[in-house]
Structure 1
């Protein structure tokens, strides 16, 4: 894997961690309120589309990195699961019927994988 690809993977991973935290904040600070209402086309769709665009670029780079660099504690199945989880959580963060414990555990799982990748990429 080339240096510029690793740098791009690090940037994407960092951005996905930021969006993951924004999803957590959205859920905890706004969605859990009893009178919460959201405009799908103004808030949910742009957020989910931005996450999907980043995740779509991140996934192949992350898979290539796992195959070629064989990092410690990161496997292909985790890349696949993290991709699926972050795209799901980007929408669930706005849904009032989302189970709080399950959602927050998913956020932690996503962050763990992204942080582990970020730590093992060159500075």
Structure 2
């Protein structure tokens, strides 16, 4: 994996951290508030499409990075789960019937993996 690809992976990873924080804020501050009405085409679809585009670009890069650099404590299974979790969270953050504890634990799980990737880059 060349330097440009690593830089691109790091930038995408940072964007995904921000997206995860935005999903958390959406759920805690807006979705759970009294009288919130979700706008599917105005809010949900654009956000979910943005997340899907980011993770679709991120996943092959991070898979290649794992194969070439063998980072400690980061495995392909975690990447697959994080990919799935990000796509799910991008929609469920707008749904009132989302179970709070499960949603927050999923956010923490995503944060853990994305921050572990960031840390591996800072060590090198």
| TM-score w.r.t. length of structure 1 | 0.97
Distance apart, 1:34 and its partner CA: 2.9
Distance apart, 1:84 and its partner CA: 0.4
- Aligned runs of 1:1-123 on 2, under 5 Å? 1-121=1-121
How many pairs are equivalent? 123
Distance in 1 (alpha carbons) for counterparts of 2:78 and 2:70? 13
Measured against aligned partners, the alpha-carbon deviations of 1:19-78 in whole angstroms (never above 9, x if no partner) come to 000000000001111311011000000000000000000000001111111101100000
SS in 2 for 1:49: helix
Distance in 1 (alpha carbons) for counterparts of 2:96 and 2:58? 28
The runs of 5 or more residues in structure 2 that have no matched partner are none
Distance apart, 1:13 and its partner CA: 0.2
Distance in 1 (alpha carbons) for counterparts of 2:80 and 2:121? 18
List structure 1 segments (4+ residues) > 6 angstroms apart after TM superposition. Answer: none
Distance in 1 (alpha carbons) for counterparts of 2:11 and 2:36? 33
Distance in 1 (alpha carbons) for counterparts of 2:43 and 2:65? 33
Distance in 1 (alpha carbons) for counterparts of 2:121 and 2:83? 18
Distance in 2 (alpha carbons) for counterparts of 1:65 and 1:80? 14
| TM-score w.r.t. length of structure 2 | 0.96
